[in-house]
Amino acid sequence: MLLENDANLAALGDRWRGAAAGVDDVVVILASERFGSGVIDGGRLLHGRGGGAGELAFLDMVEGVGDTYGIAALARTWAADALAGKAKTSLRDHAAKGVEAEHVFAAAADGDAVARAILERLADRMARVIGAVATMINPELVVIGGAVANSAGVLLEPIARHLAKYTATPPRVAVSPLGDSIVTVGAVRCALDYVEKNTLDLELAVPD
């Protein structure tokens, strides 16, 4: 049986068919509900002794972060906090069914001040996360992946603006074009790698 966690598969998938194609030193961060990352160093997926390379539980100790909640989760939470007050915002149009991350991104694009403030907070938080990863691993590129990547392109400029405050070795930052298929694409790449490496050892079942 061949097993990999979702973040490692995301790293394999994006390096194969995404923003990291051809990049040998890259960290891919799944950033929708919870942060997780896969690390490719020198073209090789890192696992560590027990498979824990790239785990981001240490974010609990990073100032201004404090947990591993991702962009989508925080967008919902911060929008709910804003709606609990008296702020004038178009996000109230979605309050009955619940504000999702895509509502926040859309409202910000339309100039909603509350939504734009939430995106600025998200960008600062992502810059802190990427800054911590960049300081330890020093990749050429950090890719934001997962379903939220479809909307997260708008965060790239403010992330870059904040990033210089949090690391002396800022990497390039991109969003994956693979969206929520990034893990599936990585699973295909992982299977292909296994077959290519073990072709001579595979036994094919012959039907009776």
Predicted local distance difference test score (pLDDT) of residue 39: 98
Residue 158: count other Cβ atoms within 10 Å of its Cβ.
17
Rounded to 10 degrees, the C-alpha dihedral 154/158/161/164 comes to: -100
What is the chain's percent helix, strand, coil content, to nearest 5? Answer: 50, 10, 35
State the average pLDDT for the chain: 93
pTM of the model: 0.91
How far apart, in Å, do the first and last CA atoms of the chain sit?
24
Mean pLDDT of 185-202: 85
* 123-170: pLDDT as tens digits: 999 999 999 999 999 999 999 999 999 999 999 999 999 999 999 999
Predicted local distance difference test score (pLDDT) of residue 202: 59
Confidence class for position 187, pLDDT limits 50, 70, 90: very high
> Which residue carries 């960049």 as its tokens?
134
**Could you tell me what percent of the chain has a pLDDT over 70?**
95
Tokens of 204: 């094919």
Mean pLDDT of 5-31: 97
Contacts of residue 10, Cβ cutoff 8 Å, sequence gap at least 6? 28, 30, 36, 38, 145, 146, 176, 182, 183, 186
CA distance 33 to 39: 19
- The CATH number assigned to the domain with range 6-38+54-198 reads 3.30.420.40
* 34-72: pLDDT as tens digits: 999 999 999 999 999 888 899 999 999 999 999 999 999
Mean pLDDT of 174-184: 97
Q: For the chain, what are the domain ranges?
A: 6-38+54-198
